[in-house]
Amino acid sequence: MTERFSEQLNNFDEHNPLEQLIERLKPLHSILSQNSYVKDTTTRLKRIIDDADSQPIVLFIGKERVGKTTVINSLIGRNLLEDRPSEPTRTNTFLKYGDEEYIKAVFLNGMEVIFDIANLSLFTISNSESAQIIRKHLDYLEVYITCELLKKVTIVDSVALETGANNTAFFSPALLQRCDEVFWVLQAGSPATEAEVNFIEQLNKMGITAHLVVNGIDRVDGEVEAFLGVEKERYGYYIGEDVPVSALQAQEARKTNSTQLLIDSRITQLSQLMFQLIDNKQKKTRHTTERFLQWLERLRVEMNTIPAREPYVSAFEYIVQHQGNLHIDAAQLQQDKALITSFEKQYETVSKVFKEVQTLFQLLQILESYSYLHDPVVDMYEETAALYQKNVRDYRKLHVDYMMEYGQLEKLFKKQTGMSLAFPLEESELSSIMSEQIQTLNRIRTECEQKLMSIKKYEQFILEKLDSVQARLNDLTKKQLTTIRNQVKELEAQQIRKRSKMISYTNKLAEFSCMVEAQSFLKDAIEPFLLERVLPIKKQEEAYIRQTVEHIMTVDYSYEAPAVADSGELLALLNLKEKYPLFELRLSVEDIVSDIPELPGIIEI
């Protein structure tokens, strides 16, 4: 590192160079977004901008069944991600903070679709046919949840390392580039394979230092330090920090509220290390600068190859070929069908959610199963109804206890007196045992009376609110159905936009002036800033920047755009509303009120 480079690192906070760089990249992205020929390159630039603007990204990698997902669940404090040993994670999943919880599926073609959080396992571990079709075209997931930890960091649960011949392992370079820190998860007692060690060495050559997380320390009975020592002798010079943890202990600690178990799990040490590592603005600025310089080389290559593609002739032939007979390719059709099937299944389930509900108990089961049926009014009603049913159950149990005790009293009375039990009783007729039984009966009767008072109080509330809550639940159901229909409409709208692009492709070529605008912006706004010595750029990188921008400026985008025809047939929208009519909730007072036995009378002596 040169003296000037080191000096820049010490002055980051004062100059805030990262923000200045990103504010210049945003207009460049806006310019390039006008041209579909550089769509992938533009998407990569957008990711650089978004990643720099958002929380630091921490990636967890490792081979199958080492507990990456379990470690992440323990960090966020809930079992969000399925972590079955038989079903490995099949999709790279970004966990981000959100006030509302949902899934954003980002597909390889740039399309983004929102799903309910309940569908998470469909994308991450499910091996069904529809899940496989969707994942074939899926780039990654963004899962937004309410979690305080995610206000400061984005966590990535990754697919397992792919191993190859000659002890090699592979992982997406594009995803590695996006991440600020990498944590490599190893199972305690299971040494790293040669392929894993070679992979960590390759990360070092890429300028990435992975930190080691040894999971499952509860299974090695105090031998974790010895295990760590042996492993660090093998490859310690390739890794940064190391943290032994027990994700299972951390999860159990949260279930049982055990502070000692949480301490033993060391999961807090992992989260503290994670926050310590990401709290490095200098490193993030350098990392973003390196990513942009790599992207700049990609742009240079792409801009040099665009004229060689003869876009004018190719676009003309493409439009003629599809004129009056627009269609989507088989892969896109499969993807759209899978999405339509998923939407249709969601819609059918929601439309029939109340079809079989005939009692208050069944309603409470439904409310517990579906998050979209909740708001403050419904939550209060659900809580009160649950208390009502609990008190009914308690009352019935007390009544059974009373009747059993009463039966014993009858038998004892008849045995001792030869007569049937009749009230009022004379004290002289009673033995001490019978007197005690009568006291027990009256005590149980008092408890029954108290429970009955609670039942009536809660019953009055749920009956008074029944009509308004039913109307609210029906409205929430309709709202969810509308959301699903809008998602289907959005899918159709995206198809329409794609068809329109086909029709207007040649006209878009005439708009290649945006590439000329990008050349000018790079020369006039980006290059001077990069050379101002504000960013941590090395001397040899300055020469590279000048040379790369100069090469980009020499590309000539002269062309003659052909005329093309217009219009075509488009796919029709699935009519969910007619196919799946809504079954509204229609409970009566009789459906709500529970039958309970009459309150026993007081036994007087």
| Residue with more model confidence, 496 or 552 | 552
Cα–Cα dist 328/321, whole Å: 13
Length of the chain: 605
Does pLDDT of 529 surpass 60?
yes
Lowest mean pLDDT among 193-197, 499-503, 510-514, 560-564: 560-564
Q: Is residue 274 pLDDT above 80, yes or no?
A: yes
Higher pLDDT, 62 or 409: 62
| Residue 262 pLDDT exceeds 60 | yes
The band of 375, judged by pLDDT with boundaries at 50, 70 and 90, is very high
d(CA 106, CA 89): 17
SS3 state of residue 183: strand
pLDDT at 433 over 90: no
The neighbouring-strand residues paired with 123 are: none
Give the residue, 166 or 397, on which the prediction is more confident. Answer: 397
Per-residue pLDDT band for 302 (boundaries 50, 70, 90) equals confident
* DSSP output for 49-103: HHHHHS--EEEEE-STTSSHHHHHHHHHTS--S---TTS---S-EEEEE-SS-EE
**Which stretch of 17-26, 429-438, 498-507 has the lowest confidence by average pLDDT?**
498-507
Of 591, 370, 586, 369, the C-alpha closest to 476 is 370
Handedness of CA 239, 244, 249, 251 (dihedral sign): negative
The neighbour count for residue 117, using CB atoms within 10 Å, is 15
pLDDT at 287 exceeding the cut of 50 = yes
Across 316-331, average pLDDT: 55
For position 119, what pLDDT does the model report?
86
In this structure, the strands spanning 154-157 and 93-97 are: antiparallel
Indicate whether 490 pLDDT > 90. no
Quick one: average pLDDT of 316-333? 56
Question: What's the pLDDT band for 124 if we cut at 50, 70, 90?
Answer: confident
For residue 16, the model assigns a pLDDT of 80
What's residue 328's pLDDT? 47
pLDDT single digits (tens) 68-103: 999 999 999 988 888 777 778 888 999 999 999 999
Query: Which tokens belong to 79?
Result: 């079992």
For all residues of the chain together, what is the average pLDDT?
84
In this predicted structure, what is the pLDDT of residue 13? 44
Alpha-carbon gap, residue 213 to 250, rounded angstroms: 14
CATH number for 56-280 (one of 3.20.20.80, 3.90.700.10, 3.30.43.10, 3.40.50.300): it is 3.40.50.300
Res 567: pLDDT: 33
Mean predicted confidence (pLDDT) in 285-290: 89
- What single letter denotes the amino acid at residue 571? L
pLDDT of residue 89: 84
pLDDT classification of 9: cutoffs 50, 70, 90: very low
CA–CA gap between residue 250 and residue 261 (Å, rounded): 7
Of 70, 331, 341, nearest in space to 187 by CA: 70
User: pLDDT by residue (tens digit) across 340-362?
Assistant: 888 889 999 999 999 999 999 99
Residue 568 reports pLDDT greater than 60: no
